[in-house]
């Protein structure tokens, strides 16, 4: 991750967002998510779909529902079309710092996307289709990077 995202502040934000997205999925379906490490970034899959990706310096942040007009100030928001997900769907594409600037305007729609992806249409928990590609090391790295340092007593 340090090679894929050399900017420490951006990398910490990305890892924090991964953990937040995982927590949303895990509440509904503990086995619904998997995070995969690539040489140039990562992908968080929830259920059968991609939910949050960082590759080659670009963030792909998937959402369901209406997006606030304030979100359209940086990056690009385009329609997406996962067959297993309801419309309207969209994806923010931009840099990590751009996502950080508009995150508050996108967070609710991303949460809806993750919650929808984590369960079937009947509300049953999904299992991730990508579990065999899961990187426990990246997950632990995110926890260590985001967790406040513990002080010795």
pLDDT of residue 149: 64
pTM beyond 0.85: the answer is yes
Measured between its terminal Cα atoms, the distance across the chain in Å is 31
Whether 137 has a pLDDT exceeding 60, the answer reads yes
Above 90 in pLDDT, residue 6?
A: yes
Output the pLDDT for position 64. 96
Judged against a pLDDT cut of 70, whether residue 56 lies above it is answered with yes
Count CB-CB contacts under 10 A for residue 92: 26
> Would you say residue 151 has pLDDT above 70?
no
With a cut of 70, say whether residue 9 has pLDDT above it.
Answer: yes
pLDDT score for 66: 86
> What is the number of other CB atoms lying within 10 angstroms of the CB of residue 3?
8
Does residue 153 carry a pLDDT above 70? no
Residue 1 confidence class, pLDDT cut points 50, 70, 90: very high
Q: How far is CA 58 from the centre of its chain?
A: 13
Rounded to whole angstroms, the Cα distance separating 3 from 6 reads 6
**Average pLDDT, integer, range 5-11:** 95
């Amino acid at each position: 991750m340090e090679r894929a995202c050399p900017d420490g502040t951006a990398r910490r934000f990305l890892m924090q967002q991964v953990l937040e997205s995982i927590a949303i999925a895990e509440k509904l379906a503990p086995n619904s998510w998997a995070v995969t490490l690539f040489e140039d970034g990562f992908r968080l899959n929830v259920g059968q779909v991609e939910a949050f990706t960082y590759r080659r310096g670009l963030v792909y942040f998937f959402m369901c529902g209406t997006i606030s007009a304030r979100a359209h100030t940086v990056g690009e928001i385009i329609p997406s079309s996962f067959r297993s997900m309801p419309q309207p769907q969209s994806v923010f594409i931009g840099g990590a710092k751009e996502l950080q600037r508009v995150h508050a305007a996108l967070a609710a729609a991303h949460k809806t996307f993750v919650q929808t992806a984590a369960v079937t249409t009947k509300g049953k928990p999904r299992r991730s289709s990508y579990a065999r590609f899961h990187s426990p090391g990246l997950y632990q790295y995110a926890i260590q990077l985001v967790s406040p340092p513990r002080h010795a007593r």
